[in-house]
Structure 1
Amino acid sequence: MGAVSLSEGAAYVRECLEVDMPPGGQHPRMGTHNLLISLGPASFLEVIVNDPDASTPAEPRWDDLEDLRAAQEFDLDCWHEVNSAGGSST
């Protein structure tokens, strides 16, 4: 999920899922950094944001991170409710 800052994204995940996001890494080519948490053997949740300390990338960033409206469209409450009940979010 995209966010304005890592702290904002981590706070949103903490509020919705009641878990803390561990540190992730940096993506110098894209000018982003992230937090990652495992959701199971083959899935994870990533909070990815533009890194304010990175250089502006030569190409567009992944997943339309220039347009942060996408961050407002992801509904972790829905994901949490479905998966807490043993269902599938897909």
Structure 2
Amino acid sequence: IDTGHAQLARRMSGAPPVADFITDAGAQLAHVHLQDVDGHADRHWAPGEGEIEWTAVFRALATIESAPNLVLELRNKADIPKGFKSLSDLGLAV
């Protein structure tokens, strides 16, 4: 799952929230590409720069049986520390 793509689908065509994609994938989920968006384009922003509800995403991750790889997939690799810090500040990353 790509969080940014899922959020774009939500905003552009009424798809479910990003967390629902994770719950639906369940035990089949192997990889999650973490990127934030503003709902208008595939921005690949650091988490915290857009509108994705990260707490809900990580709550959903905690309920599934698989342990997917989480990858910060950002346009600018220099934003990786900022994205990690944003998730850490929410208590979602260690």
Q: TM over 0.5: same fold? A: no
TM-score, length-scaled by structure 1: 0.27
Under a length normalisation based on structure 2, what TM-score does the superposition of the two structures give?
Answer: 0.27
Q: Which structure has more strand as a fraction of its residues?
A: 1
Q: Which structure shows the higher helix fraction?
A: 2
